[in-house]
Amino acid sequence: MEVLLNLRRCGAILIVGLLLSLPVSAEELNCPTPSSDPLLKLLSPPPCDSCTQTRLELEELQTLQRNRSEAQAKHALADYKISVARFIEGAGITFDAAALDKCMAIFDRLSERTKSAAVHAKNAFCRTRPYNLPNNGLTPLEAGKYSPSYPSGHTTFGTAVGAVLAQMVPEKRAEFLARAADYGRSRMIAGVHYRSDVEAGKLLGMAVAAEEFASDSQFKMMFPDATKCVRNALGLAESAPADAAAPPNQ
Share of the chain above pLDDT 70, in %: 82
| Res 57 pLDDT > 90 | yes
* Structural domains of the chain, with CATH: 52-233 (1.20.144.10)
What are the tens digits of pLDDT across the range 95-114? 999 999 999 999 999 999 99
CA distances from 243 to 136, 168, 171, 172, 232 (A): 50, 14, 8, 12, 19
pLDDT at 24: 38
pTM: 0.84
What are the tens digits of pLDDT across the range 139-150? 999 876 778 999
Residue (of 71, 104, 112, 110) closest to 85 by Cα position: 104
| Res 15 pLDDT > 80 | no
Confidence class for position 197, pLDDT limits 50, 70, 90 = very high
C-alpha span between 14 and 79 (Å, rounded): 48
3-state SS of the chain? CHHHHHHHHHHHHHHHHHHHHCCCCHHHHCCCCCCCCHHHHHCCCCCCCCCHHHHHHHHHHHHHHHHCCHHHHHHHHHCCCCCHHHHHHHCCCCCCHHHHHCCHHHHHHHHHHHHHHHHHHHHHHCCCCHHHCCCCCCCCCCCCCCCCCCCCHHHHHHHHHHHHHHHHCHHHHHHHHHHHHHHHHHHHHCCCCCHHHHHHHHHHHHHHHHHHHHCCCHHHHHHHHHHHHHHHHCCCCCCCCCCCCCCCCC
What are the tens digits of pLDDT across the range 58-74? 999 999 999 999 999 99
pLDDT at 142: 86
Cβ within 8 Å of residue 186, ≥6 positions away: 75, 76, 79, 154
What are the tens digits of pLDDT across the range 18-34? 333 333 344 444 676 66
pLDDT at 243: 62
